[in-house]
Amino acid sequence: MKSIKPPCFISVEGGEGAGKTTLISKFEGILQSWGLSVVKTREPGGSLLGNELRQWLLNRHKSIKIGAKAELLMFLAARAQHIEEVIAPAIAKGKIVLCDRFNDSTIAYQGVGRGLGLSFVRNLCSSICGETTPDLTFFLDVDPLIGLQRTKRISKENAAAGEWDRMEAEKIEFHQLVRSAFVEIAKAEPERFFSIDASQALPQVINSCEQILSMRFGIPK
pLDDT band at 154 (very low <50, low <70, confident <90, very high): low
pLDDT band at 93 (very low <50, low <70, confident <90, very high): very high
Q: Give the three-state DSSP class for 162.
A: coil
Q: In what order do the strands lie in the sheet with 8-14?
A: 38-42, 96-100, 8-14, 136-141, 193-197
Helices (H), the chain: 20-33, 48-57, 68-82, 88-92, 103-106, 118-129, 144-157, 172-188, 202-217
Q: How high is the mean pLDDT of the chain? A: 91
For residue range 41-92, list pLDDT tens digits in order: 999 999 999 999 998 898 755 677 899 999 999 999 999 999 999 999 999 9
Q: What domains appear along the chain, each with residue ranges and CATH number? A: 8-42+94-217 (3.40.50.300)
pLDDT of residue 151: 83
Q: Determine the residue type at 204.
A: Q
Name the most confidently modeled range: 145-149, 156-160, 176-180.
176-180
